[in-house]
Every structure is written in structure tokens, then in C-alpha cells.
């Protein structure tokens, strides 16, 4: 029976990211996906700062940015109707210049997955198999065993791995196989989304946006999302009947009714139905199997944190699996995955539910004709669009004093190490770029490095860099940014989170 270190179930953005991260750690892995390709539906709208930092480290950032929508589209528009006037504009704040070497990227999930797949194919330790379904999963103390079915010729094979990452979505086969329950709100609404091609340039060429909602009562409840701001769009609405199936003709009528053009030419690409939920799995680890992304948590899309949180999951997990496989750590290190990621997911779920309730209140103000409440609601809506604290300011192992909407660069154990530009090996890079495979000890220029006893196992790979000797900070005060003295040192994990401060 073929043996591979890690099997990944699901070739969505989370599974692809898991494969890339593991490969760059030197761990061979295989991705199994039942569909014939990556997603053909745009789904998620944007890539947050932290995810783009990871794409930067993986060498995929520039490829991804070739397809992003313009900065002017980073806003949520409220219109009375498509052919009408702007009633409200809630814009993304772009103040990442001093906080990160990169910035958010606005593009649809289908394109993002394509770019990740291109990156994966450059990794020597990664393989991906489409049209392949997992029909059984078992495990013992040594291996996970998967039975696979090729959906083209119906042949079946068995493979085994040291670990399995389940990134197989909200209806995860693996989670159900393990009988892992989820806690929270199972249904916040059922929605249909029509992905289509149509020409709206007559009305929207001067109004770039990411998401558009409507204030007129006859249009209320419908939402438009831009895919390319040219001809490709998503039209969405909530449906009362969870069993309702939207036909192609009904999809065309939804688009025409939203645009208020009965004869509008519409080419439906596909139609998706999805359920909004707020759920967190009772456990993220079951022996040698780990749940990640939507398989572990279902986060309402109000705030755009679902995909980004899932990628954060696998980035947290990949180096830990690698350290265990490579013999640097024992399996107890893997327990920290759930300990760190599950509370953060719950915080994100709760925050997203607040955002959903805020949107409902905005719609209610429109129904009531209360314009003051509407505009006050838009001020509050900025909180669910601008969430830099939730993106890069959270702290593992700490639940107090966390503000999802603000972030200040500082060195705190458990927090992402701050960004500073520096010169290293004759290259200008960010401190963010230093953290991937080894633990990194950043020592102040006056630090007595030889006397430091670092609180990690001796086997852990470690790189020591002394400020003004090994690395040179550019145009910033490193000590002020990190809030350290020149006598101190700071230890950063491979995932960029601070492990210890002297």
C-alpha cells in the first residue's frame, strides 16, 4: 500500500495552502479532490493582509495581484437600485503600509484557487489528484488509511499516511465519518447565488465596488458582487424554502429583476445554493486527523473571514506536522493546533454574527423609513469591513484586550511578530519574510546572545540574527516597533508568532 507523509482532502484554498506550506517545509503530500478542477464559482470576495503575507512568503503574491480588482472597488455600496444613485458608501481603509509588507487583495475565490494551484505545481513535494473521491477513512496508532475512488474509471485504491488534513468543506465527509459534532447556530439563512455574464457598463462603469446592496423595498434582500467589474457578476438573494432549487431561467429572471431590465441579455455560468451558519467543531484533532477551514468552523460571510481563517489554520498546523515528522518534536506539539485555532475561530464566528445582526438592523431601518438609523448603521458597518486587528492583531493564548478593528505594532508572546523593513544577505525584505522554517532569535545589538537560554527543545531548528550585525533595519526604529531594548532578544516561531521574549 502506498505511504505518503500527509494526505489532504479538498483542493479548495485551504487544502491548496496546506499543501504549499507542507511542501515548503520539505514534507511530501497529496491533495485529493472529488471535483474535476478548482472551484468554478467565485464564492469569497477577498484575500486579507495576513493571507497575502503568506502568499508573499510562498512566492505567489505577484501572480495573484495580476488578477485583483482596483483599489477603488474596495467598498460596499448601498444603492436605491442598479440604475439609480448611491445612498451609502462603506469603504475599506488601506493603512497597511506601516503594518505589513503587503496589503489586502480583492479578487474572487475561483481565481485565487487557480493561482494557488499554479503555485502548488511548482512545489516539488506536492501532488494534486482531481476527480478522486474519498470513500472511507480509518486510522490506528501509526497511520491513517484512505480508500479512494477514481470518478473517471471507478477504480479504487488504498493509500496510507502519517497524518490527514481534512479541508473538505462545510459538509465534510471526514468530520462526519469521525462523528465530530459542531456547536453553534446551524442555520442563519439559505441563499442562492447566480454567477453570470451581462453588460452593466451603462450604469456601473463609474461605480466600482466589491458588494452592492439595495435600499428600495422592492430590491431589498438582493445583493450584487463584482467578479471582474466588466461582464462577470454574482447576483444573490435569500430564499425562504431551504429546498428551493433555482433553475437557469429563474436565475436569469433574478438578474433582470435586480437590474430592472426585463430584456437584459444574461448568460448564466452557474448557480449555487448555500446555507449561512455559525458553527465550531467540538474538536479539531482526532488522533492523526485534523479538521481545517470550513470542515472545522462555519463562519458567516459577513466580514469575509471564512477562507482567510481556514488558511490561517493550515499555516499554524503545517510547521508542527513537519517538526513531528522530521523528528524535531513529539506528537504533543500537535495538540497546540486546536488549542490555538479553535478559540480564535469562535471569536471570529461571534464577530461575524454581530456583523450579520448589524446588517439586519440596517435593513430594518430601511423598512421602517428611519434614515437616521440607516446612516448610523452604515457607520457601524465599517467595523465589519475594516478588521485589521482580527487579521493580524490576535494573540494565541490570550483572550483579553483584543480589538478586531485596531492594531498597533508591538511584541507580545503569541502575537504575529511586527513588520519592519530590513537588509539581509544583500536583499531588502520584511521581518515577515524571515519566519517560515526555523525558529528565529532576533537579538538586540547589545544582547548577550551567548548567555541566553532559549526555552525550546534543543532539536528545534533555530537561526540567530543580531540587529546591526546580521540584519540592518531600514527607515524604522526596530526597538520602538517591537517595544524592546537593545539588550533584549525575541524568539519567533516558524509561523511568525512570537514564542518568547527575554
| Residuewise pLDDT in 10s, the chain (502 residues) | 688 999 999 999 999 999 999 999 999 999 999 999 999 888 887 899 999 999 999 999 999 999 999 999 999 999 999 999 999 999 987 665 689 999 999 999 999 999 999 999 999 999 999 999 999 999 999 999 999 999 999 999 999 999 999 999 999 999 999 999 999 999 999 999 999 999 999 999 999 999 999 999 888 889 999 999 999 999 999 888 777 778 999 999 999 999 999 999 999 999 998 899 999 999 999 999 999 999 999 999 998 999 999 999 999 999 999 999 999 999 999 999 999 999 999 999 999 999 999 999 999 999 999 999 999 999 999 888 889 999 999 999 875 557 898 888 889 999 999 999 999 999 999 999 999 999 999 999 999 988 889 999 999 999 999 999 999 988 778 898 898 899 999 999 999 999 999 9
pLDDT of residue 98: 84
Q: Other C-beta atoms within 10 Å of 379: how many?
A: 10
Which helix (H) or strand (E) is 259 found in, with range? helix 248-259
Architecture of domain 3-69+107-182+279-348: 3-Layer(bba) Sandwich (3.50)
For the chain, give every domain's residue range.
Answer: 3-69+107-182+279-348, 421-501
Question: What distance in Å separates the CA atoms of residue 286 and residue 164, rounded to the nearest whole number?
Answer: 10
Question: What distance in Å separates the CA atoms of residue 252 and residue 123, rounded to the nearest whole number?
Answer: 42
Same fold: 3-69+107-182+279-348 with 421-501: no
DSSP characters over 304-361: S-HHHHHHHHHHHHHHHHHHHHTTSS-GGGGHHHHHHHHHHHHHHHHHHHHHHHHHHH
pLDDT of residue 438: 97
What is the dotted CATH code of the domain comprising 421-501?
Answer: 3.40.30.120
DSSP code at position 66: T
Predicted TM-score (pTM) of the model is 0.96
pLDDT of residue 45: 79
Amino acid at each position: 500500500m502506498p505511504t505518503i507523509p500527509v494526505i489532504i482532502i479538498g483542493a479548495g484554498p485551504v487544502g491548496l495552502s496546506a499543501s504549499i506550506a507542507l511542501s515548503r517545509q520539505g514534507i511530501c503530500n497529496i491533495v485529493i479532490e472529488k471535483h474535476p478542477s478548482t472551484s468554478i464559482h467565485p464564492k469569497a470576495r477577498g484575500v486579507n493582509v495576513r493571507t497575502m503575507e503568506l502568499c508573499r512568503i510562498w512566492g505567489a503574491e505577484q501572480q495573484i495581484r495580476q488578477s485583483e480588482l482596483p483599489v477603488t472597488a474596495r467598498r460596499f455600496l448601498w444603492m436605491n437600485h442598479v440604475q439609480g444613485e448611491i445612498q451609502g458608501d462603506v469603504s475599506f481603509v488601506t493603512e497597511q503600509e506601516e503594518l505589513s509588507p503587503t496589503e489586502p487583495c480583492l479578487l474572487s475565490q475561483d481565481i485565487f484557487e487557480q493561482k494557488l494551484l499554479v503555485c502548488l505545481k511548482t512545489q516539488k513535494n506536492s501532488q494534486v489528484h482531481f476527480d478522486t473521491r474519498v470513500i472511507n477513512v480509518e486510522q490506528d496508532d501509526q497511520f491513517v488509511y484512505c480508500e479512494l475512488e477514481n470518478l473517471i474509471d471507478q477504480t479504487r485504491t488504498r493509500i496510507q499516511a502519517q497524518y490527514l488534513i481534512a479541508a473538505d468543506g462545510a459538509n465534510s465527509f471526514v468530520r462526519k465519518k469521525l462523528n465530530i459534532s459542531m456547536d453553534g447556530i446551524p442555520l442563519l439563512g439559505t441563499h442562492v447565488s447566480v454567477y453570470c455574464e451581462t453588460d452593466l457598463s451603462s450604469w456601473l462603469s463609474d461605480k466600482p465596488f466589491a458588494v452592492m446592496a439595495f435600499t428600495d423595498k422592492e430590491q431589498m434582500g438582493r445583493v450584487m458582487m463584482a467578479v471582474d467589474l466588466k461582464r462577470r457578476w454574482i447576483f444573490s438573494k435569500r430564499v425562504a424554502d431551504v429546498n428551493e432549487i433555482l433553475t437557469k431561467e429563474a436565475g436569469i429572471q433574478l438578474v433582470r429583476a435586480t437590474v430592472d431590465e426585463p430584456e437584459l441579455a444574461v448568460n448564466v455560468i452557474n448557480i449555487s445554493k448555500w446555507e449561512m451558519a455559525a458553527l465550531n467543531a467540538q474538536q479539531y484533532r482526532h488522533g492523526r486527523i485534523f479538521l481545517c477551514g470550513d470542515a472545522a468552523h462555519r463562519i458567516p460571510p459577513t466580514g469575509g473571514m471564512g477562507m482567510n481563517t481556514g488558511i490561517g489554520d493550515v499555516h499554524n498546523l503545517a510547521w508542527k506536522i513537519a517538526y513531528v515528522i522530521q523528528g524535531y518534536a513529539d506528537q504533543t506539539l500537535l495538540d497546540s493546533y486546536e488549542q490555538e485555532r479553535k478559540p480564535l475561530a469562535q471569536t471570529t464566528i461571534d464577530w461575524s454574527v454581530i456583523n450579520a445582526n448589524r446588517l439586519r438592523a440596517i435593513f430594518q431601518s430601511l423598512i421602517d423609513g428611519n434614515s437616521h438609523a440607516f446612516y448610523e448603521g452604515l457607520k457601524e458597518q465599517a467595523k465589519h469591513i475594516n478588521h485589521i486587528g482580527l487579521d493580524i492583531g490576535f494573540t494565541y493564548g490570550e483572550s483579553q484586550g483584543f480589538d478586531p478593528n485596531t492594531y498597533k505594532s508591538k511584541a507580545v508572546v503569541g502575537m504575529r511578530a511586527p513588520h519592519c523593513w530590513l537588509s539581509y544577505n544583500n536583499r531588502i525584505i520584511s521581518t515577515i519574510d524571515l519566519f517560515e522554517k526555523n525558529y528565529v532569535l532576533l537579538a538586540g545589538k547589545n544582547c548577550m546572545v551567548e548567555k541566553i537560554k532559549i526555552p525550546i527543545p534543543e532539536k528545534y531548528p533555530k537561526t540567530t540574527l543580531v540587529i546591526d550585525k546580521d540584519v540592518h533595519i531600514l527607515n524604522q526604529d526596530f526597538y520602538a516597533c517591537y517595544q524592546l531594548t537593545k539588550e533584549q532578544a525575541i524568539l519567533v516561531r516558524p509561523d511568525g508568532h512570537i514564542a518568547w521574549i527575554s
